[in-house]
Amino acid sequence: MTKTWLSFQGQVQQLRERGMKIDEDAACSHFLSCINYYRFSGYFRYWQQAPIQGNNNFIANADFTTIRDVYLAEQRVAGQVVLALRRIEILLRTKFAHYYARIASPCGALTRGECFTQPSNEKAWRVQDYVMRDLDRSKEAFIEHYRDDACRNTQGKYLPDAYAATPVWVAVESLSFGTLSRCIEASALNGALAQIASDIAVSRAFFASQVKSFVYLRNRIAHHARIWNHSVLDAPALAPNIKRRARQNHGMFEPRSVYTVLVALDEMLTSAKMEREWLSSTIDPIINSNQLLKRGLTDPKKYGEMNLKES
């Protein structure tokens, strides 16, 4: 289907013609010029009558200001989550490097996959393949300093021994959060995972799944994807007592909600003695000020299924 180019004011007019209440054209036009009509549609679609069937008209009382405020509040939450995840990521890099180097070797073991539990599927990438990918594409001076540029295969790609002199605590600084998560998960049998979990006082049984969920949420936010009304694919496991206490203190939330990830993040920040009551003091005040945002973060729904009442 061919689409027609519209000016920002034309986009405002299209929204109005479809039934959205817009009090100030200039404010709406400016907003659309900053965030993209298509991105905004991921939010206002919840107020459309039947978009999947091609009916893009809005339901009664669909209001631009209401929908915009959901988006802006979500962005405030995302900004705070990124700051917290950054601290956790640096913590996990530090802990993994410390314990893996002691268990395996300070140098060379990481790119050879020593002491890692490998995937059962022989065709799947091994953990060290992800490590090599990240190190090979790194332009950081500290990686180039340790890398043996002459240690390549016949196709010119670096061999694992190109990093034989690279300390683990140096290498981890060039690993993506996803690769770091894989390294931690693959350390379940070598003892490193258990030692990291013990060090930061979290349950070993749920640790790997929680780190994986942090990577998932971090990637969604980094790519500016919507977290409101999003069902988390890599949802974290929570200990029953943690889940029960969180629901008593913060209210109900669904297992695959973004809020479940935030509960796990809050627990790790607290256990690692990095911050107390992050969820209560930083996140809850934002989401409690907007009930539509709160519903979408704690109980995600598909289009047409959400309670759109503002209170």
Out of 41, 62, 83, pick the residue that ends a domain.
62
Does any domain span residue 260? Answer: yes
Does 23 share its domain with 159?
no
Picking from 39, 87, 145, 35, the residue whose alpha carbon sits closest to that of residue 268 is 87
Picking from 289, 276, 234, 278, the residue whose alpha carbon sits closest to that of residue 84 is 278
Check whether 3 has a pLDDT greater than 90.
Answer: no
Does 206 share its domain with 228?
yes
Does 110 share its domain with 252?
yes
pLDDT at residue 177, rounded to an integer = 98
Q: What is the mean pLDDT of the chain?
A: 97
Picking from 278, 277, 273, 263, the residue whose alpha carbon sits closest to that of residue 210 is 263
Check whether 226 has a pLDDT greater than 90.
Answer: yes
% of the chain exceeding 90 in pLDDT: 94
pLDDT digits (tens, 9 = 90+) for 35-90: 999 999 999 999 999 988 889 999 999 999 999 999 999 999 999 999 999 999 99
pTM of this structure: 0.95
Q: β-strand 48-50 against 55-58: which pairing, if any? A: antiparallel
Does any domain span residue 245? Answer: yes
pLDDT at residue 311, rounded to an integer = 77
Does 29 share its domain with 99?
no
Number of folded domains that form the chain = 2
Does any domain span residue 1? Answer: no
pLDDT digits (tens, 9 = 90+) for 96-134: 999 999 999 999 999 999 999 999 898 899 999 999 999
pLDDT digits (tens, 9 = 90+) for 271-300: 999 999 999 999 999 999 999 999 999 999
Does 38 share its domain with 126?
no
Looking at the DSSP bridge assignments, the partners of residue 158 are 152
pLDDT at residue 306, rounded to an integer = 94
Does 120 share its domain with 25?
no
For 60, 151, 167, 238, 267, the CA distances from 241, given in Å and listed in that order, are 43, 51, 39, 8, 12
Find the farthest-apart pair of alpha carbons in the chain and give their distance in angstroms, rounded.
68
- SS3 assignment for the chain: CCCCCCCHHHHHHHHHHCCCECCCHHHHHHHHHHHCHHHHHHHHHHHEEEHHHCEEEECCCCEHHHHHHHHHHHHHHHHHHHHHHHHHHHHHHHHHHHHHHHHCCCECHHHHCCCCCCCCCCCCCCHHHHHHHHHHCCCCHHHHHHCCCCCECCCCCECHHHHCCCEHHHHHHHCCHHHHHHHHHCCCCCCHHHHHHHHCCCCHHHHHHHHHHHHHHHHHHHCCCCCCCCCCCCCCCCCHHHHHHHHHHHCCCCCCCHHHHHHHHHHHHHHCCCCCCHHHHHHHHHHHCCHHHHHHHHCCCCCCCCCCCCC
For residue 44, the enclosing domain spans: 15-62
Does 115 share its domain with 223?
yes
pLDDT band per the 50, 70, 90 thresholds, residue 27 = very high
On whether the CB atoms of residues 243 and 253 are closer than 8 A, the answer is no
Check whether 159 has a pLDDT greater than 80.
Answer: yes
pLDDT digits (tens, 9 = 90+) for 245-266: 999 999 999 999 999 999 999 9
Does any domain span residue 8? Answer: no
On whether the CB atoms of residues 71 and 35 are closer than 8 A, the answer is yes
